[in-house]
Homo-oligomer: A and B are copies of this chain.
Amino acid sequence: MREVKVSIFGFGTVGRALVEIISERPRVAGVEIRVESITDRSGTVWGDFDPLEAKEVKENIGRISALGDYDVYSFKPQELVEEIKPDILVDVSSWDGAFSMYEVALREGVSVVTSNKPPIAEHYDKLKELAEESKAGIYFESTVMAGTPIIGLLRENLLGENIEEILAVLNASTTFILTRMESGKSFDEAFKEAKSLGILEEDPSKDIDGIDAFYKAKILHWVAYGEPPEKTERVGIREVKDAKNVRLVARVSKGEINVKPRKLKENSPLLVSGVYNAAIIRMNNLGELVLKGKGGGGRVTASGVFTDIVKAALKFPSPR
Chain A residues within CB distance 8 Å of chain B: 21, 25, 28-29, 141, 147-149, 152-153, 156-161, 269, 285-294, 299-300, 302-304, 306-307, 310-311, 314, 316-317, 319-320
Q: Which residues of B contact A147 (CB under 8 A)?
A: 158, 160, 285-286
Chain B residue nearest to A301 in the complex (CB): B285
Q: Is the contact region of chain A dominated by helix, strand, or loop, or is it mixed?
A: mixed
Q: Which residues of B contact A152 (CB under 8 A)?
A: 152-153, 156-157
B29/A303 in contact, CB under 8 A: no
Q: Chain B CB within 10 Å — which of A153, A286, A306 has the most?
A: A286
Known A-B contacts A152-B153, A292-B269; the reply to A303 vs B285 at CB < 8 A is yes
A286/B314 in contact, CB under 8 A: no
The 10 closest A-B pairs by CB, nearest first: A160-B306, A29-B319, A149-B157, A289-B293, A290-B292, A160-B303, A285-B299, A152-B157, A159-B307, A285-B303
Known A-B contacts A153-B152, A302-B160, A319-B314; the reply to A290 vs B291 at CB < 8 A is yes
Give Cα distance in the complex from A289 to B304, angstroms: 13
A153/B153 in contact, CB under 8 A: yes
Chain B residue nearest to A319 in the complex (CB): B29
Give Cα distance in the complex from A302 to B284, angstroms: 12
Known A-B contacts A29-B320, A152-B153; the reply to A286 vs B294 at CB < 8 A is yes
Q: Chain B CB within 10 Å — which of A285, A316, A317 has the most?
A: A285
Give Cα distance in the complex from A303 to B294, angstroms: 27
Give Cα distance in the complex from A293 to B283, angstroms: 11
Give Cα distance in the complex from A148 to B310, angstroms: 23
Give Cα distance in the complex from A161 to B306, angstroms: 9
Chain B residue nearest to A317 in the complex (CB): B314
